[in-house]
């Protein structure tokens, strides 16, 4: 047991000491007055004091007074412990049983007209998940992480809405431009997918990891890694890619390349406006078994006054009963 306010014990001790001192002083003064003749005299009192019944009564009163003194001191000390806030300590290690999902959004010029729609789909996906950790990375000529994996859905919702609002171009530099224009070219798909794959933490843990990858696959420039290389890298890390394609069915070659890359990881490609896109992705993600993720151990201190409050109540009750019996 630990005490939050140890100094309260000192206060309780001081109260007990002060009470004993006052009682001793008052007792000595009364004895002095009785010796000075201020009390009534009783004839043959010495014989009364030798009577067995008198001695037993005197002994009982002495015991009762000692009990009152002990109970009062003990009750005051217990009250000091309660006031000092007794606390108990517990070490816990939070365990999060969930899956990891990285939202990956192409914010290049060719995607401008559909990015708000994609973010709306991301928001719909969020409503279907429970406990999954969600992250968001955007890319154009360079990738940037908007937020890391988290299960704080209010936080995720806030940032998704902020991204949606940035496409109104109300600010001089829209949020989706920050950090995404630091390279040559545009819509560097392979680099974006590789960056999203690298956003997963705890690489040594066996977990369900998925990337929801929204792009039209219209690359413009030379990327560091190709789409196929990025897909192979994702597969080697156990990451499944689910592609959201806004031009699904319009450009056969582009759609086929994106579908092949997603399927190479164990994932699939979906059209952005397909009626079953959200439910299909949710089903695919949840097919993988959720795994335990152990967080850092935490030390929790909690108030635990119940025992001491019970002792204080018993002490007060006994104190009152003894006072009543002695009739002080």
pLDDT digits (tens), the chain, 328 positions: 677 777 777 777 787 788 778 767 766 676 665 555 555 566 666 666 677 776 777 777 777 777 777 777 888 888 888 888 888 877 765 555 578 899 999 998 888 888 888 888 888 888 888 778 899 999 999 999 999 999 899 999 999 999 999 888 878 888 888 889 988 888 899 999 999 999 998 888 788 899 999 988 888 888 899 999 999 999 999 999 998 888 766 667 778 888 999 999 999 988 877 766 777 888 877 776 555 555 566 777 788 878 878 888 888 888 777 777 776 5
Residues of the chain by 3-state class (helix, strand, coil), percent to 5? 50, 20, 30
Encode pLDDT of 77-126 as tens digits: 888 888 888 888 777 655 555 788 999 999 988 888 888 888 888 888 88
Encode pLDDT of 227-265 as tens digits: 999 999 999 999 999 988 887 666 677 788 889 999 999
Question: Considering the chain, what percentage of its residues have pLDDT values greater than 70?
Answer: 84
Give the Cα separation of 161 and 139 in Å (integer): 18
Structure-token pair, residue 251: 């450009």
CA distances from 126 to 28, 132, 189, 197, 211 (A): 80, 9, 24, 19, 14
Say if pTM beats, i.e. exceeds, 0.75: no
Place of tokens 């009543």: 324
Give the Cα separation of 49 and 29 in Å (integer): 23
Length of the chain: 328
| Contact status, residue 142 vs residue 176, Cβ threshold 8 Å | no
Give the Cα separation of 116 and 112 in Å (integer): 8
Give the Cα separation of 25 and 152 in Å (integer): 66
User: How far from each other are the two terminal CA atoms of the chain, in whole angstroms?
Assistant: 37
Determine the 3-state secondary structure of 95 from DSSP. strand
Answer CATH for 95-294 from 2.60.40.420, 3.40.50.720, 3.40.50.410, 3.30.360.10 = 3.40.50.410
Domain-wise residue ranges, the chain: 2-38+46-91+301-326, 95-294
């Amino acid at each position: 047991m630990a005490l939050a306010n140890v100094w309260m014990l000192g206060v309780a001790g001081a109260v007990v000491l002060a009470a004993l001192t006052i009682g001793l002083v008052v007792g000595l003064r009364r004895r002095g007055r009785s010796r000075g003749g201020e009390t009534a005299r009783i004839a043959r009192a010495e014989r009364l004091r030798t009577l067995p019944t008198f001695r037993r009564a005197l002994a009982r009163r002495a015991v009762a007074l000692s009990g009152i003194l002990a109970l009062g001191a003990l009750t005051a000390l217990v009250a000091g412990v309660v006031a000092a806030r007794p606390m108990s300590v517990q070490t816990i290690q939070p365990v999060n049983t969930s899956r990891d999902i990285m939202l990956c959004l192409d914010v290049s010029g060719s995607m401008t007209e559909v990015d708000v729609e994609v973010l709306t789909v991301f928001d719909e996906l969020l409503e279907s998940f429970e406990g999954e950790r969600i992250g968001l990375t955007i890319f154009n000529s360079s990738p940037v992480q908007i937020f890391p994996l988290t299960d704080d859905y209010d936080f995720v919702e806030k940032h998704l809405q902020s991204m949606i609002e940035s496409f109104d171009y109300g600010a001089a530099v829209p949020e989706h431009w920050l950090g995404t224009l630091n390279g040559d070219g545009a819509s560097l798909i392979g680099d974006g997918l590789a960056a999203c794959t690298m956003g997963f933490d705890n690489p040594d843990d066996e977990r369900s990891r998925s990337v929801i990858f929204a792009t039209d696959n219209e690359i413009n420039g030379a990327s560091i890694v190709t789409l196929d290389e990025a897909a192979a890298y994702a597969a080697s890390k156990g990451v499944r890619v689910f592609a959201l394609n806004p031009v699904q069915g319009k450009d056969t070659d582009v759609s086929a390349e994106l579908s092949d890359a997603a399927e190479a990881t164990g994932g699939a490609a979906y059209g952005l406006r397909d009626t079953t896109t959200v439910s299909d992705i949710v089903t695919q993600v949840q097919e993988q078994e959720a795994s335990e993720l152990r967080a850092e151990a935490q030390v929790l201190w909690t108030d635990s006054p119940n025992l001491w409050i019970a002792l204080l109540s018993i002490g007060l009750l006994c104190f009152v009963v003894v006072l009543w019996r002695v009739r002080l």
